Amino acid sequence: HCSPSARPRSSSRAMSEEDEDQAGAPPKRPRAASPPPPPPPPPPDQVLDNVLETVLQFLRAPGDRGAASLVCRSWHRAESATRASVAVRNILAASPARAARRFPNAHHILLKGRPRFADFNLLPPGWAASAFRPWAAALAAAAFPALRSLSLKRITVTDDDLDLLARSLPPSFRELSLLLCDGFSSRGLASLASHCRGLRVLDVVDCELNEEEDDEVSDWVAAFPRGHTDLESLSFECFTPQVPFAALEALVARSPRLRRLRVNQHVSLGQLRRLMALTPRLTHLGTGSFRPGDGAEDEGLDFGQMLTAFAAAGRANSLVSLSGFRDLAPEYLPTIATVAANLTSMDLSYAPVNPDQVLLFIGQCRSLETLWVLDSVRDEGLQAVAMCCKKLQVLRVLPLDAHEDADELVSEVGLTAISEGCRDLRSILYFCQRMTNAAVISMSHNCPELKVFRLCIMGRHRPDHVTGEPMDEGFGAIVRNCSKLTRLSTSGHLTDRAFEYIGNYGSSLRTLSVAFAGDSDLALQHILQGCSKLEKLEIRDCPFGDAGLLSGMHHFYNMRFVWMSGCSLTLQGCQEVARQLPRMVVELINSQPEIEKTDGVDILYMYRSLEGPREDVPPFVKIL
């Protein structure tokens, strides 16, 4: 028998952040005290173990697997032996050796590194620069001999790491996904291309590659082996240098299985047309610049040709996802209308599309489930989305100009329209300058399926702009009425009352992000004592001190991490936590190392770990 891969295949993995966190017990949890030694067990019933293993293979959801592993020792053994998809959601929490001992048959490994607030420059670079090294070494030493697929998120990976992996991973290795990673360059990609035979998926998404001089950039696309490749997915939208088009075209031409192709902003519209002609059965297309270029491929390019190209893709009925548009030439935008009816996912978040331009294609987007746009679409554009995209589940409205004093482009009008039109909404991220409680309350009633509600009113401490009141009632309504809510991000002027609501009603919340909010420690107490399922807590610039922190002592071992920066914590308070919770790694981080800080805690980042405090600690980090 062969065990099926337990990893769910999401149609656009880069955009499924909302779905990745699964409920239930984590794979590993430090025990507070070891159980008493059991009496000598009866001889194992071999038949029963085999049956157990066979049955458990059908258990896919991480939550279910975690629960099964806690039933008894033989279930724990059977589950560990059959777990195909291993997620280490904090690579500092468990060593590769430990993971390999417990899950020797892993087919897919997911590793996550930095906390999310590092994306916004709150964490100095080099915080955990060598955290991946032991994993790279373990993977290279065949610690997971059945490994097929590796996903890394927010991890610093060097070219040497990639080279080591490329040369040493087992021949069964097929898929590598790097999301929000950094530390590598084209050289690492070239190693992967040339040495990883049978590579099917190479997705480099939202990564910050090391800058290279023009003459140093490796032509990694040409480094793929001659002859047919097994590539099914190739994604390099974040790759900043230009990729020689001839090599890219040749690679695509000899990759008959290619279904997902996402190119970077240097690929012109004419070049895109050539690539589309070679890949008639694409499901996911990242369109690059979406603007005609100066090269030979763009000579004579006109609207009609692009329309034909997309019409052909439309007839094949396979294209479900469009992204890219990194330098959109708006006169070509209507060409996508021919494929729009079949699209379930569209990422226009790099294209400053205005309301008139939205109207050119949105009417066709009846099947759209995921949409990322800029606030340049304005309330009118969102009203059009609300009218046309009845199946919408995930919406992100990102700011064209991410500043507190930027022009107001979307408001409560757009949010209300979406809530009235898209009743099936599961997840929303909405940046705006002004908001009202009424609109948020309205969304809480209209969208009962909401699992993720992230509202970012860009001006700090902004109240309801109509009533002048704090945004307490709005967020209160969300936690009260959206019973499936697992992730919440707050903004605007919030008093302790908002957190009282969150504590009282947020019983299913797993992730909470709070910024520039609250009046006192009471708010933090409400959160920590009320949200019993809370796993990830990110707080910045709130007036919370030691009393608030210490009120969560009973719960911290159940959490993945706590981040508190710019608050009023003291060394004593953090030491108290470290003292009472020995399995907690309590890191105090100085975000501005060049300025000596003697009083107060700048950043507290604490997480449970089976390995104890890490050894490579930069000078601006103090582990208690």
Which residues contact another protein by CB under 8 A? 117, 119-122, 124-126, 206, 208, 210-211, 238, 240, 291, 294, 326-327, 329, 331, 349-350, 352, 374, 398-405, 431, 456, 458-462, 493, 515-518, 540-543, 566-568, 590-595, 618-620
Q: Choose between 400 and 553: whose C-beta lies nearer to another protein.
A: 400
CB of 331: closest distance to another protein in angstroms? Answer: 6
Q: Choose between 122 and 388: whose C-beta lies nearer to another protein.
A: 122
CB of 593: closest distance to another protein in angstroms? Answer: 4
Torsion of CA 267, 271, 274, 280, to 10 degrees: 30
CB of 18: closest distance to another protein in angstroms? Answer: 16
Residue by residue, what is the 3-state secondary structure of 300-366?
Answer: CCCHHHHHHHHHHHHHHCCCCEEECCCCCCHHHHHHHHHHHCCCCEEECCCCCCCHHHHHCCHHHCC
CB of 603: closest distance to another protein in angstroms? Answer: 11
> In DSSP terms, which residues pair with 284 in a beta bridge?
260, 321
Say which residue the tokens 């707050």 belong to. 490
Q: Choose between 176 and 374: whose C-beta lies nearer to another protein.
A: 374
Q: Choose between 62 and 518: whose C-beta lies nearer to another protein.
A: 518
CB of 72: closest distance to another protein in angstroms? Answer: 44
CB of 516: closest distance to another protein in angstroms? Answer: 6
Q: Choose between 23 and 329: whose C-beta lies nearer to another protein.
A: 329
Q: Choose between 251 and 488: whose C-beta lies nearer to another protein.
A: 488
* Nearest CA among 526, 412, 396, 398 for reference residue 463: 412
CB of 461: closest distance to another protein in angstroms? Answer: 5
- Which whole-number Å values give the CA distances from 155 to 44, 51, 118, 132, 573, in the listed order? 42, 39, 11, 7, 30
> In DSSP terms, which residues pair with 287 in a beta bridge?
263
Sequence-ordered alpha helix ranges (H) in 238-302: 245-253, 269-278
H or E, element range at 251:
helix 245-253
Q: Choose between 8 and 593: whose C-beta lies nearer to another protein.
A: 593
What is the Cα–Cα distance from 472 to 482, expressed in whole angstroms?
A: 15
Q: Choose between 122 and 537: whose C-beta lies nearer to another protein.
A: 122
Q: Choose between 191 and 490: whose C-beta lies nearer to another protein.
A: 490
Pairing type for strands 584-589 and 621-623 reads antiparallel
- Which whole-number Å values give the CA distances from 407 to 203, 353, 467, in the listed order? 35, 16, 21
Pairing type for strands 452-457 and 603-608 reads unpaired
CB of 211: closest distance to another protein in angstroms? Answer: 4
CB 179 within 8 A of CB 151: yes
CB of 612: closest distance to another protein in angstroms? Answer: 25
CB of 185: closest distance to another protein in angstroms? Answer: 10
Say which residue the tokens 């067990």 belong to. 41
Can you tell me whether residue 580 is helix, strand or coil? helix
Q: Choose between 124 and 134: whose C-beta lies nearer to another protein.
A: 124
CB 313 within 8 A of CB 3: no
